Amino acid sequence: MSLDGLIAEIDDLCGADPTTLADREALTSLHRQLARLDAVTTRATAAYDASGDWEESRARSCASLIAAICKLPLPEARRRISNGRALRHMPLVEEAWLDGHIGAAHVATLAGACSEARRETFARDEQLLVGHATQLRFGQFWRAVRYWEQLADPDGVEEEAQDERDQRELFFSQSFEGMWFGNMTFDPASGTIVDNELRRIYDQLLEADWAEARSRLGDRAGPADLKRTPAQRRADALMEMAIRSATAPADGRRPEPLFSVFVGYESFAGRICQLANGTVITPGSVVPWLPQSWLERVVFDGPSRIIDMGVQRRLFTGATRRAVQLRDRECFHPFCDLPAADCQVDHVVPYAAGGETTQANGRPACAFHNLDRHRRP
């Protein structure tokens, strides 16, 4: 098909009633074809960059020219060229993208894994990695690639992790009118500590806002009636962190991170090292935190069963609850990736139907899907 023919076909789609395409099958097909067109565009952009024809424009770079003529952000133009260059070393990735089985985000992730130091190993495992890209949700795929990098280049990923930590920074300054402005960057572990405390205080402030709104309006209160926006609440949570720090009791204790050590767990990675929110970190990233952290040992008896002992209870608590969280990592629903630490633990076979409160009969469930499961027949 010529480019003019493609444009005509797209014109027909643009003129169609959106409701005729508003079903799962049509949306899946549209996203697949969008990925294929993105792949073709990316390859053509990289080929134009390699040709050098853009130099006649006297632009600083091909990305600068593409960004200008296509009205794109410069980082987006650079991403297209970078992905296109990486495809030269990833033939199976290129094939999967042209078939619409993966998208630009998958390609960018795999391109980062296919560094010069890991290129030979990547070529050996490319089919496996592409398989993960086509079969797993993106978050699961991203973690699988991070683990592969740790196995393929253990020294290199530690250096990259240290580079990430070296990028930490905080800018906080006051304008001449007295307003304060800031920007911050944290490595995964440090950022998670800050985020966890911010979210904890945020939730307390949100609960207070709802209580105030209900005191005024009763059950008619809705999100629009809360006295603070989410952004304002986050700002107030940060201020509250500072206040609590200044007024902390003399016997107060610093946060002590908890790290889980997995033993006997067979996985694609071969070793497990990630934060509770699912962010993959290198083993070396844990070392600076060890003097002020707690460790827990998790012994697996096979790929999915944690060896544990518990007392029969109505609710999942203690070691049994923790075992389910560590085993499953996120909500049981295939379309939900809420971390298990933020989920409830639900009975697979309902307790009322004789289901036991054991690891084998437990699974993490976010509040929505837990309620939805019991609401539906």
- Please say which residue of 220, 246, 272 terminates a domain: 246
Calculate mean pLDDT across residues 308-337.
77
Three-class secondary structure of residue 57 per DSSP? helix
Q: Which of 172, 157, 190, 333 is nearest to 275 (CA)?
A: 190
For 181-231, what is each residue's pLDDT tens digit? 999 999 988 898 899 999 999 999 999 999 999 999 999 999 999 999 999
Pairing status of strand 180-185 against strand 169-174: antiparallel
Domain membership flag for residue 24: no
Same domain? 118 vs 205: no
Same domain? 269 vs 369: yes
Same domain? 193 vs 124: no
Same domain? 74 vs 36: yes
Q: Which of 268, 315, 322, 274 is nearest to 151 (CA)?
A: 268
Q: 17 pLDDT exceeds 80?
A: yes
Domain membership flag for residue 360: yes
Q: 311 pLDDT exceeds 60?
A: no
Same domain? 147 vs 185: no
Same domain? 229 vs 137: no
Same domain? 113 vs 201: no
Pairing status of strand 169-174 against strand 362-365: unpaired
For 2-11, what is each residue's pLDDT tens digit? 788 888 988 8
Same domain? 98 vs 144: yes
Bridge partners (DSSP) listed for residue 165:
none
**Contact indicator for 310, 319 with CB cutoff of 8 Å:** yes
Q: What is the pTM of this model?
A: 0.71
Number of domains into which the chain is organized = 3
User: Hey, what are 36's tokens?
Assistant: 């294929």
Question: Which range has the worst mean pLDDT, 10-14, 44-48, 134-138, 253-257?
Answer: 253-257
Same domain? 110 vs 132: yes
Domain membership flag for residue 203: yes
For 339-358, what is each residue's pLDDT tens digit? 888 899 989 988 888 888 88
Domain membership flag for residue 273: yes
Domain membership flag for residue 280: yes
Same domain? 293 vs 237: no
In the prediction, which pLDDT does 308 show? 46
For 143-156, what is each residue's pLDDT tens digit? 899 999 998 998 99
Q: 269 pLDDT exceeds 50?
A: no
- Please say which residue of 120, 152, 184 terminates a domain: 152
Calculate mean pLDDT across residues 265-283.
63
What is the span of the domain harbouring residue 340? 258-375
Domain membership flag for residue 202: yes
In the prediction, which pLDDT does 371 show? 85
Same domain? 275 vs 357: yes
Calculate mean pLDDT across residues 90-103.
96
Same domain? 288 vs 368: yes
